[in-house]
Amino acid sequence: YLNRLDKIIMTENLPPGLEYLAEIDRVLLQRETSICICKGCEWNNSYVLQNYMEEEFMRAVEKTNYCTRQLICGMRNFEMSLLDNQGQEVMHISRPLKCQFCLCTGSCLQSLEVCCPPGTPIGSIHQEWSICTPFAGRLVIQNPSGDAVLKIQGPKFPWLCGEDAVFQIFTVEDGVQTGTIKRQWDGCCDTFLAEIDHFSVNFPITMDIKTKALLIGAMFLI
């Protein structure tokens, strides 16, 4: 097992700061609550990324302006820095502004680009329109050349009360399920009043490191 990990780290051209992803097969994502809680007022979000033992290894900090947050809310464009435990930015996520009312056209579907190191794109995540689940149902993950490498299929009703929302991850080449992204149901109070989010992504430990980073980006887009 350790020899396999050493081989992965030595043979892959790993982006700096992502070496730790070679050792894990699950990432937990938790949105932190603001000290100043005002329902209906949007604040810059911050998140903690943890391993399966709930040990923090990375932190994500959103950067938007006040007017954008209040006027566009959850559909807003943003820049997000992912920092390691030393406070160094190891990943950068960019979400462009797209219209949220005409989902039947490709130009209005949501997307997100992941860079690692910052300034070097490693891929992107794109929403695919679906008549059953136009807001969260289907996503495609692309490499820097624009080739699809993974597809994500969500539930028909992703935000049902009392249930976890599970998004299945499939390979494009042969359609084999290779992981899941889950949004945990935390109860009515935490979900709707405190707006606390708990996500997790599971993938094979031998998966390409950049692909793991893209799946982390997919959690933010979802």
Question: Please, which pLDDT band fits residue 155 given cuts at 50, 70 and 90?
Answer: confident
Tokens (6 digits) for 219: 């959690």
Q: Which of 19-33, 68-82, 135-149 has the lowest mean pLDDT?
A: 68-82
- Residues 149 and 142: their CA atoms lie apart, in Å, by 6
Q: What pTM, to 2 d.p., does this model score? A: 0.82
Rounded average pLDDT over 118-126: 94
Smallest CA-to-CA distance from 25 within 220, 207, 197, 182 is with 207
Smallest CA-to-CA distance from 207 within 17, 16, 27, 86 is with 27
- Residues 176 and 207: their CA atoms lie apart, in Å, by 14
- Residues 110 and 95: their CA atoms lie apart, in Å, by 8
Burial of 96 (0-12, 13-18, 19+ CB in 10 A): exposed
As a whole number of Å, the end-to-end CA separation of the chain is: 33
- Residues 188 and 191: their CA atoms lie apart, in Å, by 5
Q: What is the pLDDT of residue 115?
A: 96
82-115 pLDDT per residue, tens: 999 999 999 999 998 776 555 555 557 889 999 9
Dihedral of CA atoms 93, 96, 100, 102 in degrees, nearest 10, equals: -130
Tokens (6 digits) for 190: 């935490």
33-60 pLDDT per residue, tens: 654 545 555 677 889 999 999 999 999 9
Tokens (6 digits) for 71: 């006027």
